[in-house]
Amino acid sequence: LKVSIIIPYKKEKWQHIKASLESILYYTPKRYLAEIMFVSDGNGPDTLYVAELQRMSRLVTIFALPPPGVGLIEAKMRAVGATSVHSTVLMFLEPHIRVNRAWLTPLLRRIRLNPQLLAMPALDPIPADDFNAYFAATAGVWRFEWNLNLVYTAPSSTLQVGKPTTPWPSPATSGGIFAIRKDWWNRLSFYDHGMIGWGGDHVEATFKVWLCGGRIE
């Protein structure tokens, strides 16, 4: 499996983008990477960072949409259409994260076992006032309340999964950070072209994956 990492960004601090990319380059085996695509959704010259990003690695590609941008969901859809022909898996990340040791291999292993899987990594929170720290997350799941509000909860069944590395199903996805096969993405026709701006993608992704025979972990 070859991966296209897709990272949308808009008016993001360079220190966050730089730290995110540094962690990806350090902790990701290069044999899995087809590219690391940064998707600029209407950034101006001060927050585009093309030269800075390209200096960090030859794996970096830039997909730049002119100002004022098209919104997060549309930007993701256009970016997928521009990914490398050599990639088979899409890995969506955000521009203010830090990946850890062996972060990608378990996701690819699960996707290899189930090509119709939407795989999410465990997310440890980073304090808003200190990008160099993090706290271990509680094992939990994403789910919807009756008004489709998305919440992260830790039911007792999740806490009894056994080893921390044992994957478990999740009723929903947050929509921001996940891995999925590119052919499964295309088969599900992500996303609805009527969605603009930010939000709603997690609802569509959740219902399409489960109702079309897939699985979320």
Q: Is the pLDDT of residue 175 over 90?
A: yes
At residue 94, φ and ψ (nearest 5 deg) are -115, 160
Q: Which of 68-77, 147-156, 159-168 is the most confident on average? A: 68-77
| Joined tokens for residue 43 | 């950034």
Q: Is the pLDDT of residue 143 over 60?
A: yes
**Interior angle at CA 41, CA 40 and CA 43, nearest 5:** 70
Q: Is the pLDDT of residue 198 over 80?
A: no
Average pLDDT for residues 119-146, to the nearest whole number? 91
Q: Which residue has the tokens 């897709």?
A: 6
For residues 98 and 134, the answer to whether their CB atoms sit within 8 Å is: yes
Q: Is the pLDDT of residue 159 over 60?
A: no
- Please give the C-alpha separations between residue 146 and each of 149, 150, 154, in angstroms, as whole numbers: 7, 10, 18
Q: Is the pLDDT of residue 63 over 80?
A: yes
Share of the chain above pLDDT 90, in %: 85
- Please give the C-alpha separations between residue 116 and each of 79, 165, 201, in angstroms, as whole numbers: 21, 20, 18
Give alpha helix (H) positions in the chain.
14-27, 50-56, 72-81, 105-113, 156-159, 182-188, 201-211
Give alpha helix (H) positions in 145-181.
156-159
163 vs 98, higher pLDDT: 98
Give the Cα separation of 131 and 107 in Å (integer): 24
Q: Which residue has the tokens 């966050």?
A: 16
Query: What integer pLDDT is reported at residue 137 of this predicted model?
Result: 83
DSSP conformation class of 197: B
Three-state SS for 177-195 is CEEEEHHHHHHHCCCCCCC
Return the closest-CA partner of residue 95 out of 25, 38, 36.
38
Q: Is the pLDDT of residue 96 over 90?
A: yes
